Structure 1
């Protein structure tokens, strides 16, 4: 994962841009992973650990209506976490991670359901973490109310958290590169 972190740092450094994190289930692991690479201080502004739902509102400024309607584990919440962290930390980019690491489901969400939010200079988006990592790191789960099985991260709590960090770094690197490509057109 250090190669992925190095690539993200290099991509941001080339653009003279910064990044921050807003982490729930990973509790600072993504920011720490980036900080393990020499030169991270050139781009890493910091981050928020919003493990408790109320901190998503008070620290990351996720609107109370979003949390009431969508809950803490949703693509909408992930986007709002990223949007809020970007503003609070004064970074060009923000990555948010929210989900269920287990060992038990939470409020109708399966273990391994993780969402990655990304807020950049031009747009904000979210993705299922299981769609950002190697196929073998995911599995399908039956989710109450869903018409078909949903792809989630596989493994125990530690594996899910590690995969969530990888997904966050992949998502951020993809976003930074895609923005650069659209600027070059």
Structure 2
């Protein structure tokens, strides 16, 4: 699931990255919980300066009235799709990945210069323009990628920064689709 852009982060991602997307915050829906008549989700969020990291919640409680798009991964059997969120249990309550944000900001000038030298022009950046190595801290987009990666499905290729534009590219290629 992905929510519409907001704030400075949304503006930055929409204006500096390609392919263009207005979907910024990504949430992994674990499944339907009949006892509460809602869907459980897993996300990584930051609250204030120190972050929060991975948390669980219920979709209609947290995101009622918010513009969301729900995606599903193509060519994945239901058993694998159900197992993917469970694989995240081994990470417990991992922190929010502030260091990845710092890493992207540090790589930004070099990515722009590299593109200027190779292509002789400035262009919007692609997730492939950045180095990415998974760790045990998560941005919201990493939660979704990591869960499926652990069951052998790469929504975004390994080593590619799992930013919203990378998910848009996966959507354009048919790796994921609207539910």
TM-score between both structures, scaled by the size of structure 1 = 0.25
Highest RCO, 1 vs 2 (Cα 8 Å, sep ≥ 6): 2
User: Which structure shows the higher helix fraction?
Assistant: 1
TM-score, structure 2 as length reference: 0.25
